[in-house]
Amino acid sequence: MERDDEGGIVIPLTNKQGAAVILIIVILVAWRVFVIRAEAPEAVKEPLREALAVEYAGQALPSIEASVAANDLDSLSKRFSNLKTTMETIEVSSITARTASEDGIYIRAEVRVNGGDPPDGRTVRYFLFGRSSIAGWHYQRDATAFEYYTTLF
């Protein structure tokens, strides 16, 4: 190793070494682009909708509790109606997957509720789903975009 004029490290590579480094980089990029992508199974959509419905219902609970505490039956009826509409109209417009492990995948989903944005405003969501031979696909946890896009091995 040598140092250049600006204090950086320079690693001289011969033609064979340079070709080997470039080949390794190309293989890793190809691995990431072609092998890591998994087809999102259709069976993931329903557990995904259920996980989103539970989350959205949890967000609606404080306003429902306030209506119960105020004994406001009209407001309570309206809030339950809105909650039911939200839960029935959750749609996953786009779903892609990347392999996380032998029995798991990261899911990227574009979510719409009643034709618009979801209650929390997050239209693109990332999840980790596991698979068991008995229960099939199941929600494990929310994931980050970083986890989804940096899955290598």
**Worst-scoring range by mean pLDDT, 16-20, 42-46, 53-57?**
16-20
pLDDT tens-digit map of 90-110: 888 888 888 766 668 888 999
- Check whether 37 has a pLDDT greater than 90: no
pLDDT of residue 4: 56
pTM over 0.85: no
The encoded tokens of residue 77 equal 């009826």
pLDDT of residue 35: 56
Q: Which residue has the higher pLDDT, 31 or 85?
A: 85
Nearest alpha-carbon partner for 145 in 93, 118, 103, 110: 110
Domain positions in the chain are 2-35, 41-149
Q: How far apart are the first and last CA of the chain?
A: 30
